[in-house]
Amino acid sequence: MAQGIPHNVMMNTTLIRDLADVAKDAALLKGVLMRIQETPNSSELVTYAPFTLFPTPVSKGAFLQALAVQTHYNTLVDKISQDPDFLHKALTSTITVDDFTARLFGIYQQVLKDGGFQPIALGLNRSDYMLDQGEDGSPCLKQIEINTFAASFGGLSSRMPDVHRQILKVAGLHEESQRILDNNPAVGLARAIAKAWELYGSEKAVIMFLVEDSQRNIFDQRCIENELWTRNIPTIRKQFDDIHKTGCLDQDKRLFVDGQEVAVVYFRNGYMPQNYVSEQAWDARLMMERSLAVKCPDIRTHLAGTKKVQQILAKPGVLEKFFPDQPQVVEQIRATFAGLYSLDMGPEGDKTVEMALAAPDRFVLKPQREGGAILPRSESYLGNNIYGSEICQVLEGVMESKERMAYILMDKIHPVPLQNYLLRRDTPLKISNCLSELGVFGAYVRTSVEDVLSPFSPPEDLLVRKSLIQWHSDDCRPRKGKDMVMNECVGHLLRTKSSEHADGGVAAGVAVLDNPLLV
């Protein structure tokens, strides 16, 4: 791609070896860190998180398009989460065949039955894209998925710009080093969490990170924790087992864990079936969902991020339901959609099966699982997508069964491979043909003054909560009725992998961290 890294630099083997040493040291100096695989719960031994030696050229127009549409995606997710009729209709077929989604939906129904949701909604999303090669050869932004649950690497991606700037300067590419964009998603994500904590209205309450048993990617989370501590907001880290053993709700549904009141639950675990190792873990999830604590995400926002909802949104007329009289917003969102097809029972699903069996290399078969992107965002999962001849094997086995409703079909995106070096611990240095995925982080907080001050608030907290709400600046002070008090695009993430891999995330050792070099 024009205006990328010069060919003579890419092919200078002596320089590349020297730059790789510089790069690894720069990553360690800047805090682009992971615990080692052998001891994922100890920081006694750490290594650099895998990353590219050079930033990857990315179309400036497509990049800006992705940033511009993110606040609309935030609004869309929030509106979907508040529409029980839509969620029920969208997921009816899925919950009959997918046990995990059915369990989540059961919690959703239980919270509705108990009287509804906490009026403060906190969303930290990441919309992931690849650049499809258009018929005229131009890059075309196409969404892979939107992650509403535990969208990771907002922390480490905040440290990556300085790493690539240093590499380019040492390589003598000073002009290119100045084109590396500032990027700090951790600050924006923490700002949204802090705003939700403020609205909750108890200075003694903590923000609880609900984390995995294996915490190799802890430094990504620590970046956000540190931003919160900078604001004097206390954080704790707990697992499902801790909630089961020490968690409880008081008469006002305030959540206490190990004796500490929890204002915000930030889920970094709970998006995959294997995260729920026992019924006690499911009980803990239900307890948190029923509580006064702000959840990120709450169960309805979790469901809004399912693949089936993504597929339903691509149908004609659906976006218009959520953005009436806003055709420009609808157009912006729809322009990012890839082709998405239902596998529900009936003529429409039959046509999808026939289409996939006739040309499997044109499609990706996606199950109702998080971490199923081309480069999934999950902390540790390898991915779930099905490609090529395996699509035929799966569909031929379920084509006459309702089991096929557990999947959706999506057009396969065809980005242009670019060459780069992927730096990983104990891996030989070699040039690779690479594909990249662009993620854009969004953060929003929605609430209403009346809701915060009435049904969930114990009387002794009313004055504190009212003063905290009034403390916000004029441009984001809540108004009467349900309202966004924050809706922002807060940063980006570029991940790159060798083109020989279909699935796999950064923590899984397949994709690596990167920076866009806009061209």
User: Residue 370 domain-assigned?
Assistant: yes
Is the pLDDT higher at 505 or at 281? 281
- Same domain for 264 and 397, yes or no, is no
What DSSP designation does 443 have?
E
pLDDT tens profile 486-506: 999 999 999 999 988 655 444
- Same domain for 68 and 86, yes or no, is yes
Residues 205/193, Cβ–Cβ less than 8 Å: no
User: Residue 2 domain-assigned?
Assistant: no
Q: Which of 130-139, 296-305, 396-405, 501-510 reaches the highest mean pLDDT? A: 296-305
pLDDT value at residue 134? 77
- Same domain for 255 and 389, yes or no, is no
Alpha-carbon span 233 to 193, nearest angstrom:
10
pLDDT value at residue 138? 87
What CATH number does residue 367 fall under?
3.30.1490.50
pLDDT value at residue 323? 97
- Same domain for 283 and 381, yes or no, is no
pLDDT value at residue 475? 37
Alpha-carbon span 275 to 241, nearest angstrom:
11
Alpha-carbon span 105 to 120, nearest angstrom:
20
Per the structure block, which two tokens stand in for 486?
């924050």
Alpha-carbon span 319 to 323, nearest angstrom:
6
Q: What is the DSSP string of 452-504?
A: HHTTT--GGGHHHHHHHHHTS-GGG---SSSEEEEEEEEEEEEEEEETT-SS-
User: Residue 404 domain-assigned?
Assistant: yes
pLDDT tens profile 386-412: 999 999 999 999 999 999 999 999 999
Query: Where in the sequence is the domain holding 368, given as residue range(s)?
Result: 340-411
pLDDT value at residue 121? 97
Alpha-carbon span 17 to 20, nearest angstrom:
5
User: Residue 211 domain-assigned?
Assistant: yes
Task: Reply yes or no: is the peptide bond before residue 57 cis, omega within 30 of 0.
Answer: no
Q: How many domains does the chain have?
A: 2
User: Residue 1 domain-assigned?
Assistant: no
User: Residue 243 domain-assigned?
Assistant: yes
Residues tagged active-site:
126, 145, 147, 152, 307, 366, 370-371, 495
- Same domain for 203 and 320, yes or no, is yes
User: How far apart, in Å, are the Cα atoms of 105 and each of 268, 379, 408, 480?
Assistant: 19, 23, 18, 30
Last residue of a domain, one of 411, 433, 461: 411
Last residue of a domain, one of 411, 433, 468: 411
- Same domain for 152 and 174, yes or no, is yes
Q: Which residues of 226-260 are buried (b: 16+ CB within 10 A; e: fewer)?
A: ebbeeeebbbebbbbebbbeebeeeeebbbbbeeb
Residue 150 confidence (pLDDT) above 70: yes
- Same domain for 354 and 394, yes or no, is yes
Last residue of a domain, one of 387, 411, 435: 411
pLDDT tens profile 177-215: 999 999 999 999 999 999 999 999 999 999 999 999 999
- Same domain for 435 and 458, yes or no, is yes
Q: What is the DSSP string of 304-344?
A: HTSHHHHHHHTSTTHHHHHSTT-HHHHHHHHTTPPPEEE--
pLDDT value at residue 370? 58
- Same domain for 323 and 349, yes or no, is no
User: Residue 504 domain-assigned?
Assistant: yes
Report the mean per-residue pLDDT for the chain: 90
- Same domain for 319 and 360, yes or no, is no
pLDDT value at residue 97? 93
- Same domain for 346 and 272, yes or no, is no
- Same domain for 379 and 302, yes or no, is no
User: Residue 446 domain-assigned?
Assistant: yes
Alpha-carbon span 226 to 229, nearest angstrom:
5
